[in-house]
Structure 1
Amino acid sequence: MSSPAALDETVIDSKDQLIAYIASGEKPRDKWRIGTEHEKFLYCADSLRPLAYDGTPGVKGLLESLSGPDWEPVLEKGNIIALKGRDGASVTLEPGGQLELSGAALENIHQTCSEVHRHLHQVVEACNEVGAGTVGLGFNPIWKRGDIHWMPKGRYKIMKEYMPKKGNLGLDMMCRTCTVQVNLDFATEADMIEKMRISLALQPMATALFANSPFTEGKPNGFLSYRSHVWTDTDPDRCGMLPFVFEDGFGYERWVDYLLDVPMYFVYRDGVYHDVSGKSFRDYMAGKLEGFEGKKPTMTDWSDHMTTAFPEVRLKKFIEMRGADGGPWGNLCALPSLWVGLLYDAQAQSEAAALIADWSIDEISAMRDGVPKTALKTPFRDGTVLDVAREVLKICRGGLERRARLSPTSGLDETQYIKPLESIVESGKTLAEDLLEAYETRWGGKIDPIYEECKY
């Protein structure tokens, strides 16, 4: 989840401005970049309990330890709640103290993977200094919702109070899940449309490949990606598969209409988050927002509002892939590699579009409904999602080979980073299934060893 956007106080007078805002993200192919985001859980090394903001060890102390020449502290009401990097990257806090890296806009996966490794080394070193640990999983494996400490960020207080009005698992989404995602560019409106359709259709397959959250409160939960299940009972107004993306007429304006129908959470003014949860951005544009009568939104308000929709794939000035569980180091490089291989090579994108061309929204939705429990074994047409993943990885590998971006140190191309996914497809077993097998065998039905085996 985002920190406050850079201020743009341009007043919004028409919907055309909102459409133009998204369209301004268009870039020629040689300017396309890769932005990777990933979250991880922080815990006390001695007790395995989640870190509170204050205390020893605590999230505040960890952020202070990470601060330095590369990372400038960001404060909210005197609390350090984020770090801003010189290269455009940032380190932010999720509601339950999950630590997120929002990476810089980079040219290739080699740079992305270097960024991941550099960041994780810094976090592990800082954790060691304060007596903490960090682990990559999709859902907190032990601790109950009431055990999680909420971070002192104004927007989270508003969301915490509003979420239970809309779904049963919204608070779990906020404080007990972790994900890895990638943000990618588009060239034109037509290119955006095709990429959005490919991404939404294949997002359930990505969820299956990255499934890594089979435990809740110390026991198997009956799911392989419980994180993915949580999103199905969070808030129907702002989550889901978005059938309209596959309809004729979809484009920038239709996306703006969708966002205008998503209820608001807050208005951020002078360092304060004002609660307008459930209210209409359309009313705000008309000067009729309760508490802000006679006032109109700014482009910063619009930028903030765009971050409060949570579909499987989200469009801003770029496209965000949001379907994967957090996981080990290799997966943090594999996720951007998967989507770059599919969408940053013209032939691969064409092949991916052809693959999903005759899929119905009912088929895609059924796949989405099935993968949280059965992942790669989920039925699809005459086979399973594993068959889809096998075909998709072939397309992806071809795309990465044709990109031919070689590492300056190893001389290898970007295909090296999808090997963890190819291994999963070859075995037919997800990380979640490996964890369940460990729980039932060498862990002896105990969950604590997951922290040692999955820590960074």
Structure 2
Amino acid sequence: MPKLDEQIKTLAGYFAADCEPDGKLTLQLEVEHFLTRSDGQPPAFADVQAALRDLQQQTDAPIITDGEYFGYSGPALAATLGPACQLRISLAPLRDVQDIMDLYNRFYLQLGLALAAHGLRAWTAGCHPTCHAEDLPLVPRTRDEAMDTYLREKGACSVQMMRATAATQVSIDYQDETDFVRKMRAASLLTPFFALLSDNAPVYQASRNSSYCIRTRLWQDVDRDRCGVTPHLMDADFGYARYAENVLTKPQITALRLGRVRAAGGKIAPELYAGHVSRHETAQILSNFFYDARLKSRIELRAADSMPPRYIAAYVQLVKSVFGSPAALQNVLRHYAGATTLDITSAKLAVCKDGYNALVYGRPVSGELAWLLMQARSRTPSQEERALLDPFMQLLTTRKTIRETENYNE
């Protein structure tokens, strides 16, 4: 298929061009928040829009999609609405974790005041804290409507995933193709541990929850074509071209048509685009896939629930300590040498079922978490940065999750 071959080559070229060859890791934090009225009911779309307009500064650019206001983008951060009015805060890439958290915490304080003026509030939790997913309306956006229609036919949990889950995502850069492969593999291998450390769903479907890693479990039954462990991740030939082939040969949910997002009808990329896909078209293709670790212009780690700030800081520091240290990264890959994509999936299911009693890669998960946190601490020379990991150390010591430690999170 000549067109497919050209598209693979084009995407691989884009991936190579996105490298950061200096090797100085930057981290891009994205946190999703549920928004409700003060009584816990779903907010009116117009009220949320008004609150975001209050937050927008003169230097920020409004985000208009399908004729509606969905937030804004500025030099330091972007604030955009998700499928069911989840508010997604995306910070500019930074190297220092404390700088990241200072920026996030300042915005979160401003957000709380702006929302309160409209009778609204924000929540940090992995699953919606007050409502059934089915009672949460979608925002009026073509992309979300197309995804909802398509994914309902693919898995049993798409409604809950789109409307009633929220994440903490950290994106990291890579130096070259070899570094890309190392980091994609390590991120996927560590997904079960990230899921357990960030487990923060005290409520699920409007009832108190006592199960582990609900959000991780939901993602397992959304769409096998585009979720879970990246296909061929552990194959010897995995790299830019193989990742490109993965996303180009699977059905697309949405596609760009004359600059606008439209439903793709399940066609694959060679049926939708010319051989030389543009940067905008590539971004649209990549946005249709939700692997545990996925590639956009950076590698996005998607395993963690939305969490209160001190746990966000612990997570960002953990990612920095492991992925910013070639030695720590190599230790992770060596420690789990021989693990397959099936082993990773089995490890995720084990923590969903048994939490701190799980066996992961044939070993007790508590011991593996202790080993991982030791790797992070030993690669973190600053006492202040090591202290950021303490909330995760406390969870491990008490064998509790965030949802068991914190009450309704704010």
Sort the TM-score into its range (normalised by shorter chain). over 0.9
State the shift of 1:336 in Å.
1.6
Percent identity of equivalent pairs: 25
Match of 2:189 in 1: 201
SS at match of 2:294: strand
Amino acid corresponding to residue 36 of structure 1 in structure 2: L
Note if contact 2:10-2:277 (Cα within 8 Å) is conserved in structure 1.
no
In 2, the alpha carbon distance for the partners of 1:73 and 1:286 equals 31
**Residue 140 in 1 paired to residue 161 in 2?**
no
Match of 1:268 in 2: 256
In 2, the alpha carbon distance for the partners of 1:23 and 1:297 equals 15
State the shift of 1:365 in Å.
2.1
**Residue 152 in 1 paired to residue 140 in 2?**
yes
Q: Which moved more, 1:372-381 or 1:347-356?
A: 372-381
| Structure 1 unaligned blocks of 5 or more | 1-11, 288-295, 405-411, 436-449
Can you list the C-alpha shifts for 1:259-290, whole angstroms capped at 9, x where unaligned? 11221122234563222131110222468xxx
Can you list the C-alpha shifts for 1:368-392, whole angstroms capped at 9, x where unaligned? 1122233232113564212111100
Count of residue pairs the alignment pairs up: 406
Match of 2:21 in 1: 28
From 29, 33, 41, the counterpart of 1:49: 41
From 308, 319, 322, the counterpart of 1:339: 319
Match of 2:295 in 1: 315
Q: 1:284 to 1:360 in 2, by over 3 A?
A: closer
In 2, the alpha carbon distance for the partners of 1:127 and 1:189 equals 43
SS at match of 2:282: helix
Amino acid corresponding to residue 79 of structure 1 in structure 2: E
Q: 1:18 to 1:381 in 2, by over 3 A?
A: closer
In 1, the alpha carbon distance for the partners of 2:349 and 2:147 equals 25
| Structure 2 unaligned blocks of 5 or more | none
State the shift of 1:70 in Å.
5.1
Note if contact 2:202-2:209 (Cα within 8 Å) is conserved in structure 1.
yes
Match of 1:421 in 2: 392
Note if contact 2:133-2:205 (Cα within 8 Å) is conserved in structure 1.
no
In 1, the alpha carbon distance for the partners of 2:6 and 2:331 equals 41
Match of 2:113 in 1: 125
Q: 1:15 to 1:271 in 2, by over 3 A?
A: closer
What TM-score results when the alignment is normalised by the length of structure 1?
0.84
Q: 1:111 to 1:261 in 2, by over 3 A?
A: same
Report runs of 4+ in structure 1 exceeding 6 Å deviation.
none
Q: Which moved more, 1:135-144 or 1:34-43?
A: 135-144
Q: 1:166 to 1:424 in 2, by over 3 A?
A: same
Amino acid corresponding to residue 393 of structure 2 in structure 1: E
State the shift of 1:429 in Å.
0.8
SS at match of 2:220: helix
In 2, the alpha carbon distance for the partners of 1:325 and 1:396 equals 20
Q: 1:381 to 1:320 in 2, by over 3 A?
A: closer
SS at match of 2:94: coil
Amino acid corresponding to residue 276 of structure 1 in structure 2: A
Match of 1:439 in 2: none
Q: 1:152 to 1:215 in 2, by over 3 A?
A: same
SS at match of 2:85: coil
Amino acid corresponding to residue 52 of structure 1 in structure 2: A
Note if contact 1:224-1:433 (Cα within 8 Å) is conserved in structure 2.
no
From 373, 382, 399, the counterpart of 2:379: 399
Note if contact 2:7-2:270 (Cα within 8 Å) is conserved in structure 1.
no
Q: 1:413 to 1:32 in 2, by over 3 A?
A: same
Match of 2:163 in 1: 175
From 336, 349, 361, the counterpart of 1:356: 336
Note if contact 1:76-1:271 (Cα within 8 Å) is conserved in structure 2.
no
In 2, the alpha carbon distance for the partners of 1:169 and 1:217 equals 12
Match of 1:79 in 2: 68
Note if contact 1:42-1:98 (Cα within 8 Å) is conserved in structure 2.
yes
Can you list the C-alpha shifts for 1:301-321, whole angstroms capped at 9, x where unaligned? 111110110111102231111
**Residue 95 in 1 paired to residue 70 in 2?**
no
Match of 2:269 in 1: 281
In 2, the alpha carbon distance for the partners of 1:16 and 1:174 equals 32
SS at match of 1:41: strand
